[in-house]
Structure formats: structure tokens, C-alpha cells
Chain A
Amino acid sequence: MSTREEKERIELLQGTLDLLILRTLLLGSAHGHAIAKAIEFNSDEVLQVEQGSLYPALHRLIKRGWISVEDGTSENNRRAKFYRLTAKGRKQLAAETSKWEKFAGAIARILRPTEEHE
């Protein structure tokens, strides 16, 4: 426990959760808990997802038609919802990713103008 708390954790920026969910689902459909875990694991536990906020985000993406939902069974053999990226979502992910990269690059250039080689 204590080691985890010591790690510097970053709250997600507004709107980035959607992007991360889409990216995670690119690897295949998954249920809620798995998505949350994947985001944390893949970010080396730096990104802090308040897991509760995952579900409203999933609903938002469904409404926009970027992901779809289907019934399935969880590891516990219980009924669970699996989320899957739609074609529209895939396009959206590509667009959002390039936007994000431009954004992150720009921020980095401003913050460290002399250390570009690093």
C-alpha cells in the first residue's frame, strides 16, 4: 500500500479519459473493470482513474456511437457488459490521438525549449 501512495499520481485531464478508453478498446472488447485496470497498468500506475467516473464516460461514448456494448461473461462467470470499439470510434481515436500528440508536443516545447535532445 505505502509504496503505491508514495508514487506520484496524476489526475486525468478533462476529456483524456475518453481517449484512453478508446485506445484500450483498440486491443479488443473488455468489461469496465478490465478497462480501468488496463489504463492504470499501461500507464505504470501513474494515471489515477477514479474508477467510478469510468462508467459515465462509457455511457457517453455509447451515446456518441464510438463504442458498442454487448453482453458477455466475466472471469467470475457472471453476466457482464463488454464494450467494443466501433468503426466510427476507430476513426475518432485516430483523430484524437494525432490531436493529442500535437498538443503534448507543443506543451513540451514550451516547457523545455533548450532540452529538445533529451
Chain B
Amino acid sequence: MKRRAKRLLSDLDQEIREHIELATQENIARGMTPEEARHAALRKFGNMTRAKEDAREVWTVVWLEQFVQDIRFALRGLRRTPAFTAVAILTLAIGIGANSTIFSAINAVLLRPLPYPEQDRLVRVSIYNPKYPRYRGEVSWTDVAHWGAAKEVFEQVEGTSGPDVVAMSGGGSGERVAVLQMNALLPTMLGVKPFLGSLPTDEKHEALGFGISYEFWQRHFAGDPHVLGKTIFVDTGSGPVMVVLAPHFDLLETGPPDIFMFHGSANPAESGIGDPRWVMAIGKLKRAVSVQEAQAAMDVVEQHLARVFPEEYKGMGVRVEPLRQGLFGWSSDFLYLLLAVVGFVLLIACANVANLLLVRADSRRKEIGVRVALGAGRTRLIRQLLTESIVLSFAGGLSGLLVSIWGIKLFDLLSPNWMPRTANAPMDARILLFTFGVCILTGIVFGLVPAFRASRSDVNESLRGEGRTTGSVSRQRTRNILVIAEVAVALVLLICAGLMINTLTRVLRTNPGFNPNQLITAQVRLAGDKYIDSTDPDHLDLNVIHPPVELFCRQVLERLQGLPGVEAAAFVDWLPLAQDTQHAHPGFRIAGQAPLLSAEAPTILLDSISPGYFRVMGIPVLRGRGIDEQDTESAPWVVAINESMAHQFWPKQDPIGQVITFDNSPDERPRQIVGIVKDVKDYGLTRESMPEAFVAYTQLPARTVPGWTEARVHKSLVVRTRFVSKELMESVRKTIADLAPDSAVYGVTTVQQTVSSAARVWSFFSQLLGLFAGVALLLAAIGVYGVMSYSVSQRSHEIGLRMALGAQRRQVLGLVLRQAVILSLVGVGIGAASSFVLTPMLSEFLYGVKPHDALTLTLVSLLLIGVTLFASYVPARRAARIDPMETLRHE
């Protein structure tokens, strides 16, 4: 402020006094008594403080000065009422913390830039079926090569597939490792540098060697500086370590893979039709080319490809989108749903704090009255009260950030393993800004109504009322509305949680098609030259599976039969519902029918099993027979099929006796169908069963296509036991490990556990929604308790009178409880009505239950009404204990 202004203001007091003095003198001259004269002059002058403040405002950046003043004032006030402050901050910390947590997850998965230089030039290129445009389809190495030729928009397009969990051998024991296949140029394109060694250069579409991740190097090789050149054996091949990649290279953000297997790029002219699509294509745009331009160019390329290779490309769309969206866009639906849920929780928290503020404003009416009497303007007062609530919400927000640090860890812990990891993402400016915004908004939302109400207080009334505040009707109405809103919002959340839990129990109760009880399972991944030969110079496109695979299975089964507690044991390639399964899914030809184009050839799941597998798993054989001991290598080759396969391919005939031939090996023989078994759930509890065929592990071709080698050397053991015990699991593990010392034995668990893991995504949703709904319920209960307590304390006088006039305690109890029931019933009604609009948004996450499930609605409504009754019972009891004599004495 300028010196002139300072002087003017400091002289203002004197100036005003002089003004009053002169006016008084004039009044005396008009014939008033000196006292009258002075009063009249003062009245005429008006609000002196206000005049001074207004004059001050002319010279200052007022709002800033007042803001600082208001904050100081708010802090002082909050310190004076520690209990109120603590409850309010805690409530807000929970509400804001939940929001920050979910936003942190959204930020980590969808918003923050990828850790690659020039990440804005990276895109994912995927194909989609125009019928399901939201789905991002995987592509083939051939597609990658075709698209990479679109040089007008792409600098390059590279592919990656996996991670595949395979076995690594060497050094005495096998280990399970996650292998990511990729074009050798992909890391360089992303801008990832080697830590040791150098990346191979691109030549032809064949394996170029191995890279390992920094993390695997540390874990497995203890950071050995001489690791380069050491040979790694994985089942699909062996080779030297050529490069250790830079730390934290984690493309899919589900934890860095262990091994990178590098390929050259495919030659589109060489690689043929039917190249399987399991690759993800990542492209780098040319400088100054936008995603839209690339999309337009790819549309043209796609049309061209559809003309040249109609079998591969007809009726297909190609999509170009920013890499982060391409990688993780699928998760946005449910993440934003969660954000809406925590938004509701925050609303309830706001209502609670608003309630507290209303009560507090009542106890402060006198103070506010005095301030109004001393000339505080209404807007000034509202601004001050709002400042107080914003100070509160910022305190809540700061604590909320602390809550979210812990919350994001919990989120990460609960989330399924295919969710990108969220815990490692640092807290960044975006999260802080979001929380800041939420704080301001929150402070205004919960502070506005109380501030308006408080500022409207009648000076006379509040100054006159001595302690016995009657609490005006409209004030109580505001509180009631808040409670109704809380109950309504809590009901919506409870319904969501109820639907989710309902879904979970239905998923868990789904019949998987087999009996998981009393079953132990173990996974083994046979590794090494003894089992697979991938170096046949005549047949690079085929892997040879050696007889020791079969021998190993036979020996394991024999030894297990001898274990005490084991009833029966069997092998299958992949246990149904197991994670990371890589079933063989060959095409096949039905004898007597014309062969179909390979693109249109039917594909099915194929599993080899040991005799007794159906019995051990409890899978009923519906017709014919299962696979049994008579099906040896030299006997006629046979196949058992499931119901789905029978219905799909022989809708009108009896499939038994039909002959089919699989196309996954030149050594395949025609197989006669000997039996039909019941469907099992293979890929998920909520998915329809796929057509599936089972063959004897003794009737398998010696050579197989490399992509399906995995299915041949991976075995899931299932053991039916009399009694599941840790000891038995350990002896099963040891039996296998002894027979295949170089191979990886893992996943020794109960089959029941595998089934539950298949429901993990629903338990994740249920846990989160249940948690948030629980918090909402608790907050709503606290809200009801607060309002009822306050209403009782306000009405204590009235209740005392009623009792003095003969009302019974039970009647008083009823009086209070009735009020609570009415409030919660209205809330439940509104909540139920809004849930009709809101819950359909959940439908894509539900299974076996409709979004408007009457039972769920009824149950959660009863629960909510029960809880509100319970919350108001304590204040009701207090009301019933009011001593009428006390009241009368006060009169």
C-alpha cells in the first residue's frame, strides 16, 4: 500500500470523530440534549466499522488480505473445538482418500505418459471385428510386416507376443520364466537401451537370440558381469544371452518379463496364410504424422490388403490408437465406474460434515449474531464460513493423500495379476491437482448450505436467546434432507455391492463341469533336449517330441499310486481354469467331407490325457467310452469329444464312429470318435464351454508345430485324494521333481483353489465395492446418529413436557424411532428409484443377476433401515431417560 493511502487511513479515525463531533454540535444547536444529539449523529453516520473497512478496501487487494485473515480465524476456531475438527477431518480423509486412491490408479494406468522418449509417436495397431468395435484383436507376424510397409505414416511397426510362461532348464533345477517374444528392433524403437551387450539387428523371421531383463539378471544371475554368452535353455530353443536390457523395461506393466526372445521381421511374401494372430503390433509414427492421419492411411492399406488377401483381411477393421490407450484402454470402463463409486462415498462424507457444520453453526449463533451486529456484511460472513470449510477440506485432503498412499498399495494387492501394477507409479502433479480440486469442490459442497443458513440468522433472535436455542424448523429440515440424501446414496452403493457379491457367489457356484473337491494339482513343464528336439535341420518348422515325455508321465502315475492317501491320479495338458494356459487348438477335417479353406476351418481345443482323467476329475462320460488303457500307440487312434463339439459339428448325426484328422502335424493319423463327455469350463467360469477333444497321451504324433510344443511338454497332474494335506502336496511335488530334475514343477495346490482364482476378478470387484459400500453405510449411520442426537437434544424440553404430562418412556422411544424410520424410508425410496437409473451401468460386470434384482434391493434396504434404526436407538434411549422434573424445574 502506498504511503499516501496509509496516512489517509490512519487519519480516518480522527476524521470520523471530527465528523461526529460537528454533527453533534449541529444537533445541539437545533435544540437536542447533548446525549440525544450524539445518538442522532451516530445513527446518521451509520456503520462506522464498515465505513473504515470499505475505505481500506479501496486501497488494498482486499480479498487476499481477508483470505489470510479468514484462514487464521478458521484455524483458531477449529483448534477451539478439537472433537468436531477431528471427526470432520477423519470423515473427509476417508472420502477424499478413496477418491485420490482410485484417481491414482486411473492416473497410473490410463493417464501418465509412458516411460519412453517420444512416447507420443508410439501407437498400437490392432484389428477388430466391426461387429465388436470395442475389442482390440491381436495380429500375426505377417500383419506386422504388411503394416510396417506403410512407410508414408510409420517409421516402423514391430510386434511382440506373450509373455508366455515357460520352463528354463540348466543348473540342476528347472525354473518357470516369463518369455516375451519380440521383433529385435522393438526395444530400440521404444527407446529402451541395453544395459549390457547390444541388441541384435534385424534379418529374417527367425530366432536371433535372447535378451534378459535387468531384474531377471539380478535375480537369477546375481548381477553377474560375465553373463553375456551364457547359454539359456528354454523349451522352445536354446541360445546365448546377448543383451541385458535397461532396468524397468516393462511394456505391459504387469511386472518385467524375465527373458526376451528376439526375432527378425517376417517377410510377408514368405509367411503364408493361417499365420496365427497372437501378436501385438506397436508402431512409431513418422514425425509430424498424427494418429488420425495414420488411421486414414491404414484404412486404405486395409482395403488394399482385403483385395489381395481376402481370406486374411476381408471384413476386418484396423485401428491405430495412442500406445497407452491401446495397451490399457480396456480397463477404463471399470476404473471410471470405481471413480463414480468413490465419488458417491465422498458425497456422503460431505453430507456428514455439512451436518456437523450445521450443528456447530447453531452453537455459534450467538457469535455470528454479534458479528452481524458489529457490522459484518452477509457476503463477508459467507466467505468466512466457506473459508473455514475449505480449510477443513484441505486438512481432510492432506490426510486423504496419506490414506491414498496406503490405499493404492491395497488396490494393487487386491487387483488381478493382469491389471497393470499401480503401486509403483509415483505421486505426481496430476494426482495433487486432482486432490486439490476435490478439496475445493468438497469444501464448497459441504460448506455452502451451512454458511448460507448461518449468515441468514436474525441478529435480534440470536442475541436474545440465552442458551435455549430452539433450532428453527427450517434448520431441522435441512438436516433431515441431508440424512435422506445420505441414506439414498448409501443405498445405491449398497445395491451395487450387493449385486457384485451376488455375482461372485453365482460365479463361485457355477458348476465347472468337474468335481474340484479333494483334488490336488501340480504343473510340470518338461524342459531340455531329452524331451524336445527343436534343432532338426530338415524340419525347422517342426519340433520333435521324444518318448521320455510319455515315459515320464507313466512313471509319475505309477509312483503316485503307491503314495498313501492317493486314490487315483491322471494327467492332462492343461488343467481347466488354470492361468496362462496354452492349449493346442488345431483345425481338423472330418472324413468324407470336403476340406475347408484354412481360414474357415473349425478349430477346437485339443488336450491329451492319461487314462482315468475323466474319472479322477469327475467328468461324466455321456455316451460311448472315455480314453483308457487299451488306447496304446499301436492300437487304432481314437478321440473323445465334448458335448459342445458334438452339437456344433454333428447336430443331426451321431458323432460316435465318425473319423476326424487334426492338422497340427504331418504325423497325425485319422482318429475315430469313441465317446462324448460333458462340457467343462476351460477358459473362465462365466464363459461358454468351447468344443474340445481329448486324445490319449500315448497316441500322439512325434513332431509338432512349434507354437503348440508348449501344449505337449506341459502337463497338469490331478490327484484325487482321500484327504488333502500339505504333506501330501509336498510328496506329490517331490515325486515329480525327482523324475524330471531339470524341469519346472510349480502350481502345486488344490483344484478348488484354482477354481477360486478363476473368480478373482469378481472377488476384486466385490471386495472394492463391498469396502466402499461399507464405508458409505458407516458414514450414513454416523450421520443418522448425529442428526437424531441433535434433534433429541433440541427437543429435550418438549419431550420432558410430554413426559410430565404422562407420556410413557416407550412412547418417547417410539416418537424418536418413528422419525428415524420415516427419514430412512424416504431415503431408501429415493435411493431405490435412482438405482433403477444407475445400476444398469454395472450390467457388463454382472453374471447371473439382473441389475434390478428385487432380492438384492430388498435385502440391502432392510439392512440399511436396520442400521439407521440402530444408529437412532442410542439417542432415542437418551430421550426416554429425560427426567420430566428437570424440565419442569427449568420452566
Chain A's nearest CB lies how many Å from the CB of B48? Answer: 6
Chain B residues with Cβ under 8 A from A80's Cβ? 15, 18
CB closest chain-A residue, reference B41: A51
Given A53-B51, A53-B54; A59-B8 close (CB under 8 Å): yes
Chain A's nearest CB lies how many Å from the CB of B574? Answer: 82
The B42-67 residues at the A interface (CB cut-off 8 A) are 44-48, 50-52, 54-55, 57-59
Give CA–CA (A62, B59) in the complex, Å: 10
Give CA–CA (A81, B9) in the complex, Å: 12
Which listed residue (B16, B18, B40, B44) contacts A76, Cβ 8 A? B18
Given A33-B22, A76-B18, A80-B15; A51-B45 close (CB under 8 Å): yes
User: Judging by beta carbons under 8 Å apart, are A52 and B46 in contact?
Assistant: yes
Chain B residues with Cβ under 8 A from A55's Cβ? 12, 15-16, 51-52, 54-55
Give CA–CA (A52, B50) in the complex, Å: 8
Count B interface residues, CB 8 Å. 29
A112 interfacial contact with B, CB 8 Å: no
User: Judging by beta carbons under 8 Å apart, are A51 and B19 in contact?
Assistant: yes
Give CA–CA (A105, B830) in the complex, Å: 57
User: Judging by beta carbons under 8 Å apart, are A50 and B46 in contact?
Assistant: yes
B448 interfacial contact with A, CB 8 Å: no
The A35-56 residues at the B interface (CB cut-off 8 A) are 36-37, 50-56
Interface of A is mostly: helix
A63 interfacial contact with B, CB 8 Å: yes
Chain A's nearest CB lies how many Å from the CB of B44? Answer: 6
User: Judging by beta carbons under 8 Å apart, are A52 and B59 in contact?
Assistant: no
CB closest chain-A residue, reference B40: A1
Interface residues on A, range: 20 to 34
B218 interfacial contact with A, CB 8 Å: no
Chain B's nearest CB lies how many Å from the CB of A103? Answer: 25
User: Judging by beta carbons under 8 Å apart, are A56 and B23 in contact?
Assistant: no
Chain A residues with Cβ under 8 A from B50's Cβ? 52
Chain A residues with Cβ under 8 A from B11's Cβ? 81
Chain A residues with Cβ under 8 A from B54's Cβ? 53, 55-56
Chain B residues with Cβ under 8 A from A62's Cβ? 4, 8
Chain A residues with Cβ under 8 A from B16's Cβ? 32, 55
A20 interfacial contact with B, CB 8 Å: no
Question: Could you give, for residues 63-85 of chain A, a 1 whenever the CB lies within 8 Å of some chain B CB and a 0 otherwise?
Answer: 10000010000111011110000
**Most chain-B CB neighbours within 10 Å: which of A51, A76, A81?**
A51
Given A52-B47, A52-B50; A78-B18 close (CB under 8 Å): yes
Chain A residues with Cβ under 8 A from B58's Cβ? 56, 59-60, 63
Question: Could you give, for residues 1-27 of chain B, a 1 whenever the CB lies within 8 Å of some chain A CB and a 0 otherwise?
Answer: 000110010011011101101110110
Chain A residues with Cβ under 8 A from B44's Cβ? 51
Chain B residues with Cβ under 8 A from A33's Cβ? 18-19, 22-23
Chain B residues with Cβ under 8 A from A1's Cβ? 40
Chain B residues with Cβ under 8 A from A36's Cβ? 19
Chain A residues with Cβ under 8 A from B57's Cβ? 56
**Most chain-A CB neighbours within 10 Å: which of B4, B44, B52?**
B44
CB closest chain-A residue, reference B57: A56
Chain B's nearest CB lies how many Å from the CB of A61? Answer: 9
Give CA–CA (A31, B15) in the complex, Å: 9
Chain B's nearest CB lies how many Å from the CB of A90? Answer: 21
User: Judging by beta carbons under 8 Å apart, are B18 and A51 in contact?
Assistant: no
Chain B's nearest CB lies how many Å from the CB of A85? Answer: 17
CB closest chain-A residue, reference B32: A1
Chain A's nearest CB lies how many Å from the CB of B98? Answer: 47
Chain A residues with Cβ under 8 A from B4's Cβ? 62
Besides A32-B18, A37-B26, A63-B5, 17 new A-B residue pairs in contact (Cβ under 8 A), listed by A number = A1-B40, A32-B19, A50-B46, A51-B44, A52-B45, A52-B47, A53-B46, A53-B51, A55-B15, A56-B55, A56-B58, A58-B55, A59-B59, A60-B58, A62-B8, A74-B18, A76-B21
10 A-B pairs, CB-CB below 8 angstroms? A32-B15, A32-B16, A36-B19, A52-B48, A55-B15, A62-B4, A63-B5, A69-B8, A76-B21, A81-B11
4 closest cross-chain pairs (CB), A and B: A52-B51, A56-B54, A52-B46, A50-B46
